[in-house]
Amino acid sequence: MVEIRSRSGSLPAIPDDLTIPQFQLDYRDPNRPIRPAHVPCLIDDGSGRRVLFPELQQRTQALANSLSSLYSIGEDDVVLLFSRNHVDYPVAIWAVHRLGGIISPANPDFGQQELEYQLKATKAALIICHPDALKTSVSAARQFGLSSDRILVFNVEGSTSNADYVTVDHLVERGAKLKAFSERKLKPGEGKTKLAFLSFSSGTTGTPKAVVIPHIAVIANVLQLAAHSKVNQDYAPWEDQRYRPGDVASGVLPLYHIYGLVVNLHFLLYCGMAIVIVPKFNFENMLKSIVRHHITHLMIVPPQAVLLCKHPAVKKYNLSGIRYIMIGAAPLSDEVNEMLFRLFPTAHIGQGYGMTETCTVTSIWSIERKRGLSGGAGQLVPGVVARVVKTDGTVGGYNDVGELVVKSPSNALAYYNNHQATKETFVDGWVRTGDEVKITTDGELWIIDRIKEILKVKGFQVAPAELEGTLLDHPDVSDTCVVGVPDEFSGEIPLAFVVLTADADARVQSSSRALEDIRNSIVKHVASNKVAYKHLTGGVVFVPSIPKTPSGKLLRRVLREQAKELRKATKAKL
């Protein structure tokens, strides 16, 4: 059996008896860079507030005291974080972890039904939310059966919506005066099974699933990235080293997303860098932030890379301080890659590959190259073992095309309370990624196609089956199939093929306006029930029937090709 291993060096010992906050805040890793005392861990983008390392430790301890004493948060209790990026986001995570609890991050743009689904799936005992998300939190909690006094709110300057709710600042202030809780200590090896996060992923099909991520997974991925990137090693002149204490990174990636959570937050803090916490992405505001905070590092997704290359506002700002750009969450086209290379001629620029189920990075461009190979997903990070499983079930070697299956110390354990989905994806310590790849003889990973049906819209996973379920709730829809169509800005966008009911079809036959009215109604129906990136921005196409196999399985690839042809024809008319 051919197993392909990382060429990026050896992986240091991974502590298996530490929680994530113990590793980040207490443990002295001999390979970790020393953070200069004046370098903040976090910087609030709007106010400029700087949070130094001692304050991060103190706030985490105080909040943990309050959560333990006042809310009885303890072993395996789930706390749902429903918030935009905030300087206290890591404080909330680590306070819960110190108590032996579990964090489930949620997209702050979720509607009530989506949040209620996550509350039910995780049986959350507490919600910590952003003021912008308070209204949705209250309505979803009411439906779930969680009392309003179990909703806490992050402090945001100028916000008045949280006047009737306990704030995190209040709990930190109060917790500083409370008796210290008894911290959960792990036994040797327990970090491999002790749950840290229930992070939601669409998996291969259907509604989102909670991915079971133990403490060691995040710690391992941080150490894998550090080993791959030779962090704290004198491997190159100072100006050419990729990650240095005192560098400043934009924290514009959402921290509820695994890429932002592990790479942009935990890994960069490990490297001794400062992270500018940006609550919500706005492109020109991001440019202003780069200049205002002298940002050197950008962790972004393909739509943001496209804006950097094409938005006219870029010319108004001096971005010469950018020395590193990582693109993840979805593939980037060769054309945009080349434009980025020209726009930032001296910067380190490349792509990485990973997923929630592997607790983030499986590959990233080589430290030996300033520029990643255009279209390549980089080299396997230390500790990763890969198999390329061909369509006939045999395991291929270099240059063979097949499904990527990986084993890594950062792999998640399972899908929470979902045995069938777990059995399909997590196999004897390996994760079936659902992505069709090849690995060339130089060790470069190339993503060829997506075997699984998941769409990647602006880096976010969208399960067609989830949208199809919503569409079938519309009274005029009798059958449907959702596919992704290529889009330069979003990577992919959802397009729905729809078969009308007999009644709807009769209305169309009798009225010239009926078809457009039904189309608008369907689009509005999805927009009313789903978060923005799941909207049918690719449109609605009416068809007489949905092609299926004899067993009834949707022939999604057939419709995907049809959608591409329709897209080309539409562009040709413009």
Given 185, 203, 230, the domain boundary residue is 185
User: Which CATH number do you get for residue 116?
Assistant: 3.40.50.980
Mean pLDDT of 478-494: 88
Residue 535 lies in a domain: yes
How many domains does the chain contain in total? 2
Separation CA 414–CA 236 (nearest Å)? 40
The answer to whether residue 449 is domain-embedded is no
Digit-coded pLDDT (tens) for 132-145 = 999 999 999 999 99
Q: CA 92, CA 54: separation in Å to the nearest integer?
A: 16
| Residue 571: predicted pLDDT | 63
Domain-embedded: residue 248: no
Question: Is 409 a domain residue?
Answer: no
- Mean pLDDT over residues 16-40, rounded? 96
Q: Provide the pLDDT for residue 205.
A: 52
Going by DSSP bridges, is the β-strand pair 297-300/248-251 parallel, antiparallel, or unpaired?
Answer: parallel
- CA angle in degrees (0–180, nearest 5) for 214-219-221: 100
Q: What single letter denotes the amino acid at residue 164? A: D
Residue 393: how many other CB atoms lie within 10 Å: 7
- Tell me the CATH number at 535: 3.30.300.30
What torsion, rounded to 10 degrees, do the Cα atoms 279, 281, 524, 139 define?
0
Q: How far apart are CA 283 and CA 302, in angstroms?
A: 13
CA 566 to chain centre: 31
Q: Is 532 helix (H, G, I), strand (E, B) or coil?
A: helix
> Contact 211/200 with Cβ under 8 angstroms?
yes
pLDDT at 451: 67
Whether 264 maps to a domain, the answer reads no
pLDDT category, 161, cuts 50, 70, 90?
A: low
Name the most confidently modeled range: 269-278, 468-477, 530-539: 269-278
What are the pLDDT digits (tens) for 262-275?
Answer: 999 999 999 999 99
- Boundary-marking domain end, from 133, 167, 185: 185
Question: What is the mean pLDDT of the segment spanning 399-406?
Answer: 95
- What's the rounded Cα separation, in Å, for the pair 43 and 187? 35
Mean of the pLDDT values across residues 366-381? Answer: 93
Give 273-307 pLDDT, tens digit per residue: 999 999 999 999 999 999 999 999 999 988 788 88
Cα–Cα distance for residue pair 332/346, rounded to 1 Å: 19
pLDDT score, position 570: 67
Average pLDDT, the chain: 92
> Which residues, 6 or more positions from 442, have their beta carbon under 8 angstroms from its beta carbon?
none
Model pLDDT for residues 41-73, shown as the tens digit of each residue? 999 999 999 999 999 999 999 999 999 999 999
Which of 148, 168, 185 is the last residue in one of the domains?
185
Q: How many Å apart are CA 191 and CA 488, to the nearest integer? A: 41
The pLDDT of residue 357 is above 60: yes
Angle of helix 168-175 relative to helix 53-71, nearest 10 degrees, comes to 90
pLDDT for the residue 495: 95
Q: CA quadruple 194, 197, 198, 201: dihedral positive or negative?
A: negative
Q: Which domain holds residue 546?
A: 455-573
The residue type found at 548 is K
24-45 mean pLDDT:
96
Percent of the chain with pLDDT over 90: 76
The residue type at 141: A
Domain-located, residue 315: no
> What pLDDT was estimated at residue 552?
54
| Alpha-carbon span 567 to 574, nearest angstrom | 11
Whether 474 is covered by a domain: the verdict is: yes
- Token pair belonging to 187: 């036994």
pLDDT at position 105 over 60 = yes
Helices (H), 108-194: 112-122, 134-144, 168-175
450 is a domain residue: no
What's the whole-number mean pLDDT along residues 95-116?
96
Cβ 74 vs Cβ 99: under 8 Å: yes
